[in-house]
Amino acid sequence: MIYPYECEKCEEDFDITKDYRDAARLEYCLVCGNLLKRLWTRTEIIGAKVEEAEFNHGLGCVTTSKNHRNEIAKRKGLVEVGNTKTDTIHKESEYTLNKKLSWENV
């Protein structure tokens, strides 16, 4: 997870990446050594589930929910790979390629 911090002494901002189990660990300013203040991020309630905004390394941006992640992936022409069967992935890939080729021939 990426956690935003700020130094109240030198007014520097930092994004610190650490495991969620280490979220309570104190962090110190890299510039002046002062104790950093953690800035709290917006959370969203989706049904009965709370999700925090997080940086998605695969998409290269911050996502706030599974639906948001899927929207961004769709805009970028990406398909999430996971439990999807290989045949389904190949069919989707072939369909997308044919669609792009048909637009190029217009």
Q: pLDDT tens for residues 46-82? A: 444 545 677 777 788 888 888 888 888 888 888 776 6
- Cβ atoms of residues 53 and 62 within 8 Å: yes
In the three-class reduction of DSSP (H, G, I as helix; E, B as strand; rest coil), residue 98 is classed as: helix
Average pLDDT, the chain: 79
pLDDT mean over 3-8: 90
pLDDT mean over 28-39: 91
Q: Name the residue type at position 1.
A: M
Within its chain, how far is the Cα of 3 from the centroid?
12
Q: Residue 64: its pLDDT value, please?
A: 81
Q: Residue 41: its pLDDT value, please?
A: 63
Does the predicted model carry a pTM greater than 0.85? no
